[in-house]
Structure 1
Amino acid sequence: MSYPPPAGYGAPGGYGGYAGPPPSNGLATAALVTGLISALCAPVLFLAAIPLGFAGLSKANKLNGVGRGQAIGGLVAGFVGLAWTVLFVILIAAGAIFADNADELFDLCGPDDQSPSGFPCESQGEADPNPDAEGVDTDPADQVCNVDRFLEDPDC
Protein backbone atom coordinates (compact mmCIF):
# COMPACT_ATOMS: atom_id res chain seq x y z
CA MET A 1 0.00 0.00 0.00
CA SER A 2 1.37 3.22 -0.96
CA TYR A 3 0.66 6.55 0.53
CA PRO A 4 0.20 9.68 -1.48
CA PRO A 5 3.06 12.09 -1.44
CA PRO A 6 2.96 14.62 1.32
CA ALA A 7 1.10 17.73 0.50
CA GLY A 8 3.24 20.66 -0.27
CA TYR A 9 3.03 24.02 1.26
CA GLY A 10 0.56 25.98 -0.75
CA ALA A 11 0.06 29.67 -0.86
CA PRO A 12 0.04 31.20 2.57
CA GLY A 13 -3.39 31.80 4.05
CA GLY A 14 -4.40 35.39 3.90
CA TYR A 15 -5.66 37.58 6.62
CA GLY A 16 -8.43 38.92 4.44
CA GLY A 17 -8.71 42.15 2.61
CA TYR A 18 -9.11 45.57 4.17
CA ALA A 19 -12.69 45.71 5.42
CA GLY A 20 -12.84 49.48 5.80
CA PRO A 21 -14.27 51.40 8.71
CA PRO A 22 -17.39 50.09 10.38
CA PRO A 23 -20.59 51.74 9.21
CA SER A 24 -21.65 54.81 11.14
CA ASN A 25 -24.79 56.86 11.39
CA GLY A 26 -23.94 60.54 11.55
CA LEU A 27 -27.60 61.55 11.52
CA ALA A 28 -28.25 59.55 14.69
CA THR A 29 -25.23 61.10 16.37
CA ALA A 30 -26.36 64.60 15.38
CA ALA A 31 -29.87 63.84 16.68
CA LEU A 32 -28.48 62.73 20.03
CA VAL A 33 -26.22 65.77 20.41
CA THR A 34 -28.88 68.33 19.43
CA GLY A 35 -31.50 66.50 21.49
CA LEU A 36 -29.37 66.58 24.63
CA ILE A 37 -28.58 70.26 24.16
CA SER A 38 -32.29 70.87 23.57
CA ALA A 39 -33.32 69.05 26.73
CA LEU A 40 -30.66 70.61 28.94
CA CYS A 41 -30.14 74.23 27.93
CA ALA A 42 -31.51 75.33 24.56
CA PRO A 43 -35.06 73.99 24.17
CA VAL A 44 -35.55 75.53 20.71
CA LEU A 45 -33.07 73.01 19.27
CA PHE A 46 -35.88 70.45 19.31
CA LEU A 47 -36.60 71.86 15.84
CA ALA A 48 -33.40 70.16 14.67
CA ALA A 49 -33.29 67.16 17.01
CA ILE A 50 -36.65 65.64 16.10
CA PRO A 51 -36.20 65.61 12.30
CA LEU A 52 -32.61 64.40 12.71
CA GLY A 53 -33.87 61.62 14.98
CA PHE A 54 -36.38 60.40 12.42
CA ALA A 55 -33.78 60.60 9.64
CA GLY A 56 -31.29 58.74 11.85
CA LEU A 57 -33.85 55.98 12.49
CA SER A 58 -34.45 55.65 8.77
CA LYS A 59 -30.73 55.38 8.10
CA ALA A 60 -30.32 52.90 10.99
CA ASN A 61 -32.86 50.61 9.32
CA LYS A 62 -30.75 50.65 6.16
CA LEU A 63 -27.55 49.97 8.15
CA ASN A 64 -28.94 46.97 10.06
CA GLY A 65 -29.53 48.92 13.27
CA VAL A 66 -26.31 50.95 13.43
CA GLY A 67 -27.08 54.11 15.42
CA ARG A 68 -30.63 53.11 16.29
CA GLY A 69 -30.13 53.80 20.01
CA GLN A 70 -28.59 57.18 19.33
CA ALA A 71 -31.48 58.15 17.04
CA ILE A 72 -34.07 57.10 19.63
CA GLY A 73 -32.17 58.97 22.35
CA GLY A 74 -32.10 62.07 20.14
CA LEU A 75 -35.85 61.78 19.52
CA VAL A 76 -36.65 61.41 23.21
CA ALA A 77 -34.41 64.32 24.18
CA GLY A 78 -35.86 66.41 21.33
CA PHE A 79 -39.38 65.80 22.57
CA VAL A 80 -38.26 66.77 26.08
CA GLY A 81 -36.94 70.01 24.56
CA LEU A 82 -40.31 70.50 22.87
CA ALA A 83 -42.05 70.05 26.24
CA TRP A 84 -39.71 72.60 27.84
CA THR A 85 -40.46 75.08 25.05
CA VAL A 86 -44.24 74.65 25.40
CA LEU A 87 -44.00 75.02 29.18
CA PHE A 88 -41.86 78.15 28.80
CA VAL A 89 -44.34 79.74 26.40
CA ILE A 90 -47.27 78.93 28.72
CA LEU A 91 -45.45 80.44 31.70
CA ILE A 92 -44.57 83.59 29.76
CA ALA A 93 -48.18 84.00 28.61
CA ALA A 94 -49.52 83.37 32.11
CA GLY A 95 -47.05 85.86 33.54
CA ALA A 96 -48.10 88.50 31.04
CA ILE A 97 -51.77 87.95 31.83
CA PHE A 98 -51.10 87.87 35.56
CA ALA A 99 -49.00 91.05 35.46
CA ASP A 100 -51.72 92.82 33.50
CA ASN A 101 -54.41 91.88 36.02
CA ALA A 102 -52.38 91.86 39.25
CA ASP A 103 -53.83 95.13 40.54
CA GLU A 104 -57.37 93.84 40.06
CA LEU A 105 -56.65 90.36 41.39
CA PHE A 106 -55.06 91.51 44.64
CA ASP A 107 -56.87 94.83 45.11
CA LEU A 108 -53.60 96.70 45.42
CA CYS A 109 -55.15 100.12 44.94
CA GLY A 110 -54.33 102.58 47.64
CA PRO A 111 -56.44 105.49 48.92
CA ASP A 112 -55.19 107.69 46.08
CA ASP A 113 -56.43 105.17 43.46
CA GLN A 114 -52.85 104.40 42.40
CA SER A 115 -51.37 100.92 42.37
CA PRO A 116 -47.82 100.29 43.59
CA SER A 117 -46.82 99.93 39.95
CA GLY A 118 -48.00 103.49 39.29
CA PHE A 119 -50.96 102.57 37.09
CA PRO A 120 -54.31 104.15 37.90
CA CYS A 121 -56.81 101.74 39.41
CA GLU A 122 -60.32 101.38 38.16
CA SER A 123 -62.77 102.69 40.70
CA GLN A 124 -64.57 100.05 42.71
CA GLY A 125 -68.22 100.54 43.55
CA GLU A 126 -70.30 103.65 42.84
CA ALA A 127 -68.88 106.87 41.52
CA ASP A 128 -68.55 109.86 43.83
CA PRO A 129 -71.31 112.34 43.01
CA ASN A 130 -68.98 115.23 43.88
CA PRO A 131 -65.64 114.30 42.35
CA ASP A 132 -63.93 117.63 43.00
CA ALA A 133 -62.87 118.94 46.37
CA GLU A 134 -65.19 121.92 46.07
CA GLY A 135 -68.13 119.67 45.27
CA VAL A 136 -68.56 121.18 41.81
CA ASP A 137 -68.59 118.90 38.78
CA THR A 138 -66.16 120.47 36.32
CA ASP A 139 -66.50 117.84 33.60
CA PRO A 140 -67.46 119.28 30.21
CA ALA A 141 -71.11 118.98 29.30
CA ASP A 142 -70.29 117.39 25.94
CA GLN A 143 -68.31 114.60 27.70
CA VAL A 144 -65.26 115.26 25.52
CA CYS A 145 -61.96 114.66 27.25
CA ASN A 146 -58.99 115.49 25.06
CA VAL A 147 -55.33 115.62 26.06
CA ASP A 148 -55.37 119.28 27.12
CA ARG A 149 -58.49 118.78 29.22
CA PHE A 150 -57.07 115.62 30.80
CA LEU A 151 -53.91 117.45 31.88
CA GLU A 152 -56.03 120.10 33.65
CA ASP A 153 -58.63 117.71 35.07
CA PRO A 154 -57.54 114.04 35.12
CA ASP A 155 -61.00 112.77 36.07
CA CYS A 156 -62.69 114.26 32.98
Structure 2
Amino acid sequence: MKIGELARETGCTVETIRYYEKVGLLPKAMRSQENNYRYYSQKHLELLLFIRRCRALAMTHEEIQQLLQAREEPDNSCISINELIAEHLEHVRARIEELQALESQLEILRNQCHSVHTARDCGILKKLDEADNSDWQTPKASNSHVEGSRCHHKKG
Protein backbone atom coordinates (compact mmCIF):
# COMPACT_ATOMS: atom_id res chain seq x y z
CA MET A 1 0.00 0.00 0.00
CA LYS A 2 1.11 3.57 -0.63
CA ILE A 3 1.74 6.07 2.15
CA GLY A 4 -1.65 7.75 1.72
CA GLU A 5 -3.43 4.42 2.16
CA LEU A 6 -1.38 3.65 5.27
CA ALA A 7 -2.24 7.08 6.63
CA ARG A 8 -5.96 6.50 6.09
CA GLU A 9 -5.85 3.00 7.61
CA THR A 10 -4.10 4.19 10.77
CA GLY A 11 -5.38 7.73 11.23
CA CYS A 12 -1.83 9.10 11.01
CA THR A 13 -0.73 11.91 8.79
CA VAL A 14 1.68 11.24 5.96
CA GLU A 15 4.17 13.55 7.70
CA THR A 16 3.95 11.50 10.90
CA ILE A 17 4.62 8.27 9.01
CA ARG A 18 7.65 9.82 7.33
CA TYR A 19 8.85 11.12 10.71
CA TYR A 20 8.50 7.69 12.36
CA GLU A 21 10.56 6.24 9.52
CA LYS A 22 13.18 8.97 9.90
CA VAL A 23 13.60 8.41 13.66
CA GLY A 24 13.62 4.62 13.30
CA LEU A 25 10.34 3.71 14.97
CA LEU A 26 8.96 2.43 11.67
CA PRO A 27 11.15 0.49 9.21
CA LYS A 28 11.87 2.19 5.90
CA ALA A 29 9.36 1.37 3.20
CA MET A 30 10.28 -0.31 -0.06
CA ARG A 31 10.50 2.16 -2.94
CA SER A 32 9.26 1.65 -6.45
CA GLN A 33 11.96 1.67 -9.15
CA GLU A 34 9.83 3.54 -11.67
CA ASN A 35 8.35 6.35 -9.54
CA ASN A 36 10.18 6.15 -6.18
CA TYR A 37 6.87 5.86 -4.29
CA ARG A 38 7.00 4.28 -0.86
CA TYR A 39 5.18 0.96 -0.53
CA TYR A 40 4.17 -0.40 2.87
CA SER A 41 3.38 -3.92 4.00
CA GLN A 42 0.94 -5.38 6.51
CA LYS A 43 3.82 -5.36 9.02
CA HIS A 44 4.13 -1.58 8.63
CA LEU A 45 0.40 -1.27 9.28
CA GLU A 46 0.58 -3.41 12.43
CA LEU A 47 3.65 -1.56 13.75
CA LEU A 48 2.14 1.84 13.08
CA LEU A 49 -1.06 0.89 14.91
CA PHE A 50 1.07 -0.34 17.84
CA ILE A 51 3.02 2.94 17.85
CA ARG A 52 -0.24 4.94 17.76
CA ARG A 53 -1.58 3.03 20.77
CA CYS A 54 1.65 3.74 22.67
CA ARG A 55 1.51 7.44 21.75
CA ALA A 56 -2.11 7.53 22.94
CA LEU A 57 -0.69 6.48 26.32
CA ALA A 58 1.75 9.44 26.14
CA MET A 59 4.79 7.19 25.81
CA THR A 60 8.03 8.66 24.56
CA HIS A 61 9.75 7.48 21.42
CA GLU A 62 12.41 5.88 23.59
CA GLU A 63 9.79 3.88 25.50
CA ILE A 64 8.10 2.85 22.27
CA GLN A 65 11.46 1.78 20.86
CA GLN A 66 12.03 -0.42 23.92
CA LEU A 67 8.60 -2.00 23.51
CA LEU A 68 9.19 -2.56 19.80
CA GLN A 69 12.50 -4.24 20.63
CA ALA A 70 10.74 -6.47 23.16
CA ARG A 71 8.21 -7.48 20.48
CA GLU A 72 11.10 -8.60 18.29
CA GLU A 73 12.43 -10.86 21.07
CA PRO A 74 9.29 -12.74 22.14
CA ASP A 75 11.16 -15.41 24.11
CA ASN A 76 12.87 -12.92 26.44
CA SER A 77 11.56 -12.07 29.89
CA CYS A 78 8.97 -9.31 30.09
CA ILE A 79 10.47 -7.79 33.26
CA SER A 80 11.81 -4.78 31.35
CA ILE A 81 8.33 -4.19 29.91
CA ASN A 82 6.77 -4.33 33.37
CA GLU A 83 9.39 -1.91 34.70
CA LEU A 84 8.87 0.47 31.79
CA ILE A 85 5.10 0.57 32.37
CA ALA A 86 5.55 1.00 36.14
CA GLU A 87 7.91 3.93 35.56
CA HIS A 88 5.58 5.46 33.00
CA LEU A 89 2.68 5.14 35.45
CA GLU A 90 4.70 7.10 38.01
CA HIS A 91 5.29 9.84 35.44
CA VAL A 92 1.56 9.97 34.74
CA ARG A 93 0.77 10.20 38.46
CA ALA A 94 3.29 13.04 38.84
CA ARG A 95 1.67 14.86 35.93
CA ILE A 96 -1.76 14.43 37.52
CA GLU A 97 -0.41 16.07 40.71
CA GLU A 98 1.00 18.93 38.63
CA LEU A 99 -2.35 19.40 36.92
CA GLN A 100 -4.21 19.37 40.23
CA ALA A 101 -1.89 22.10 41.55
CA LEU A 102 -2.47 24.07 38.36
CA GLU A 103 -6.22 23.66 38.77
CA SER A 104 -6.01 25.07 42.31
CA GLN A 105 -4.01 28.06 41.12
CA LEU A 106 -6.50 28.77 38.35
CA GLU A 107 -9.40 28.51 40.81
CA ILE A 108 -7.67 31.11 43.00
CA LEU A 109 -7.29 33.38 39.97
CA ARG A 110 -10.87 32.89 38.85
CA ASN A 111 -12.09 33.86 42.32
CA GLN A 112 -10.30 37.22 42.10
CA CYS A 113 -12.76 38.72 39.66
CA HIS A 114 -16.48 37.92 39.68
CA SER A 115 -17.79 40.84 37.66
CA VAL A 116 -16.79 42.88 34.66
CA HIS A 117 -14.34 45.70 35.38
CA THR A 118 -11.83 47.62 33.40
CA ALA A 119 -8.57 45.76 32.89
CA ARG A 120 -6.99 48.26 35.33
CA ASP A 121 -9.34 47.04 38.08
CA CYS A 122 -9.30 43.34 37.18
CA GLY A 123 -8.59 41.22 40.24
CA ILE A 124 -7.01 38.49 38.13
CA LEU A 125 -4.43 40.83 36.63
CA LYS A 126 -3.74 42.35 40.06
CA LYS A 127 -3.18 38.88 41.52
CA LEU A 128 -0.81 37.96 38.69
CA ASP A 129 1.09 41.23 39.22
CA GLU A 130 1.74 40.55 42.92
CA ALA A 131 5.44 40.03 43.52
CA ASP A 132 4.96 38.01 46.71
CA ASN A 133 2.10 35.66 46.23
CA SER A 134 1.79 33.04 48.92
CA ASP A 135 -1.16 31.43 47.13
CA TRP A 136 1.03 30.15 44.30
CA GLN A 137 2.68 26.80 44.37
CA THR A 138 5.89 27.17 42.43
CA PRO A 139 6.09 24.38 39.87
CA LYS A 140 8.56 21.72 40.90
CA ALA A 141 11.00 20.43 38.34
CA SER A 142 9.58 17.01 37.75
CA ASN A 143 11.08 13.96 36.15
CA SER A 144 7.91 13.55 34.18
CA HIS A 145 8.08 13.04 30.47
CA VAL A 146 4.34 12.90 30.00
CA GLU A 147 3.05 15.41 27.46
CA GLY A 148 2.47 18.83 28.90
CA SER A 149 4.76 18.38 31.85
CA ARG A 150 7.11 21.17 32.75
CA CYS A 151 10.35 19.20 32.59
CA HIS A 152 11.08 16.32 30.28
CA HIS A 153 13.02 13.33 31.55
CA LYS A 154 15.48 11.64 29.25
CA LYS A 155 17.03 8.31 29.97
CA GLY A 156 20.77 8.21 29.64
Judge same fold: TM > 0.5, yes or no.
no
Structure whose alpha-carbon radius of gyration is higher:
1
TM-score after normalising by structure 1: 0.28
TM-score after normalising by structure 2: 0.28
